[in-house]
C-alpha cells in the first residue's frame, strides 16, 4: 500500500532530514509530495534525482491552490519554521486546505519541548504553537504532534549552555533539573514513522537523552580529561525578566533571537516544559543519539557505545 505524504518545509534543515527518513525505508511504499512556494527552485534542485518525489507549488495565501496540492495525500507533515506569519497563519491555511482536500491526517510543526503547560507570556514560540494546536484540535482531522525537548545539536552551536573555553556548564535555579534532548536526525526518524502510522496518537513524546546540567558537566570532564563544573547563572525568574527586557528593546521579528533562547531555558530549567510521558519504543531508532555522543563529536573524544536509556 502506497502512502502519499505532503511535506511542507522540505527545504529547511529539519524538513530535509524528514524527507530523507521518509525515503530511506524501502519496506514502505512512500510517495513524497514536496510543497514549495511559486518561483522557488530549492525543492527542484534537492529532489530532482528521485522519481518518488513530486514537487508541487502553492502559496500559503492561496488556499484553493494549497487544497489542490494536498488532494490525494494520506498525511500532511509540516516542518515550516518561523514566527506568527508561519506557525499560525501559514499553518492555518495548510490545515484548512488539508481538511478541504479530505486528507485524513496532519502533523503540525511542533518539534519542541512541552509547550502545553508553560505560563502565559513565558515563551513566544511555544505560545504560537499552543495557539495553533487549538485550531488543530478543533479541525475534523486526525493529528499528531511530536514533542522532543531541545535539539541536542544546539549544545555545540547556538545554545550557550556549555562554555567550552571556560570549562563551565550553565544552569538556572537548579543544576539537577532534568532536561530533555533529542537530535534533529532522531526527531526526523520519529516524524517519518509517525507519518506512516495511521494509528499514531495525538501527541508523541520522545527524548534521545534526559540529563541534568550537573551530569553534562561530569560528561564533559570525562570526555576532555579536564574538570568542568556547573555554573549557577541565576534563577529562572531573573532570566525570564532579562528576556522580557531584551524582547521589548529588540527590533525585527526573528525566529530565534537571543531573548527567545533565554525563554527556552526558562521553561526547561523551571520544569514547566519537561516531557512527562516519554515513549521512546514505539517510533524510535535502534539507538538514540545521546548528549554524550554529540559532545564527543565537538571535543573529538570517542562516544560511548552503549545505548542510552532515557528515564
Q: What pLDDT, in 10s, does the model give residues 272-307?
A: 999 999 999 999 999 999 999 999 998 887 656 444
pLDDT score recorded for residue 308: 43
Place of cell 508561519: 86
For residue 27, the model assigns a pLDDT of 56
Structural contact between residues 246 and 184, judged by C-beta atoms closer than 8 angstroms: no
The tens digit of pLDDT for each residue in 104-154 reads 999 999 999 999 999 999 999 999 999 999 999 999 999 999 999 999 999
- SS in 3 state form for 123-174? CHHHHHHHHHHHHHHHCCCEECEEECCEEHHHHHCCCCCEECCCCEEEECCC
Task: For residue range 195-241, list pLDDT tens digits in order.
Answer: 999 999 999 999 999 999 999 999 999 999 999 999 999 999 999 99
Q: Is the pLDDT of residue 52 over 90?
A: no
For 40, 70, 77, 140, 287, the CA distances from 143, given in Å and listed in that order, are 28, 15, 10, 9, 26
Q: 79 pLDDT band (50/70/90 cuts)?
A: very high
pTM across the whole model: 0.94
Amino acid at each position: 500500500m502506497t502512502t502519499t505524504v505532503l511535506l511542507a518545509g522540505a527545504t529547511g534543515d529539519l524538513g530535509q532530514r524528514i524527507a530523507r527518513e521518509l525515503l530511506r525505508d524501502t519496506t514502505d511504499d512512500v510517495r513524497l509530495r514536496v510543497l514549495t512556494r511559486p518561483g522557488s527552485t530549492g525543492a527542484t534542485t534537492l529532489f530532482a534525482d528521485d522519481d518518488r518525489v513530486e514537487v508541487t507549488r502553492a502559496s500559503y495565501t492561496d488556499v484553493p491552490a494549497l487544497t489542490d496540492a494536498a488532494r490525494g495525500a494520506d498525511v500532511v507533515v509540516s516542518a515550516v519554521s518561523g514566527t506568527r506569519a508561519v506557525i499560525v497563519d501559514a499553518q492555518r491555511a495548510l490545515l484548512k486546505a488539508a481538511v478541504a482536500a479530505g486528507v485524513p491526517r496532519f502533523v503540525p510543526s511542533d518539534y519542541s519541548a512541552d509547550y502545553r503547560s508553560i505560563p502565559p507570556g513565558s515563551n513566544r514560540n511555544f505560545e504560537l504553537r499552543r495557539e495553533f494546536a487549538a485550531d488543530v484540535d478543533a479541525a475534523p482531522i486526525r493529528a499528531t504532534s511530536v514533542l522532543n525537548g531541545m535539539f541536542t545539536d544546539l549544545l555545540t552551536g547556538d545554545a550557550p549552555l556549555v562554555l567550552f573555553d571556560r570549562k563551565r556548564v550553565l544552569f538556572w535555579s537548579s543544576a539537577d533539573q532534568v532536561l530533555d534532548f533529542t537530535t534533529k536526525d532522531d526527531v526526523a526518524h520519529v516524524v517519518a514513522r509517525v507519518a506512516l502510522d495511521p494509528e499514531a496518537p495525538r501527541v508523541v513524546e520522545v527524548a534521545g537523552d534526559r540529563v541534568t546540567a550537573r551530569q553534562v558537566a561530569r560528561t564533559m570532564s570525562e570526555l576532555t580529561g579536564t574538570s568542568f563544573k556547573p555554573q549557577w547563572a541565576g534563577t529562572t525568574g531573573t532570566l525570564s525578566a532579562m528576556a522580557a527586557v531584551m524582547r521589548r528593546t529588540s527590533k525585527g521579528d526573528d525566529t530565534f533571537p537571543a531573548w527567545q533562547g533565554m525563554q527556552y531555558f526558562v521553561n526547561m530549567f523551571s520544569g514547566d516544559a519537561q516531557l512527562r510521558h516519554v515513549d521512546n519504543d514505539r517510533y524510535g531508532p535502534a539507538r538514540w543519539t545521546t548528549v554524550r555522543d554529540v559532545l564527543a563529536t565537538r571535543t573529538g573524544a570517542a562516544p560511548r557505545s552503549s545505548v542510552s536509556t532515557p528515564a
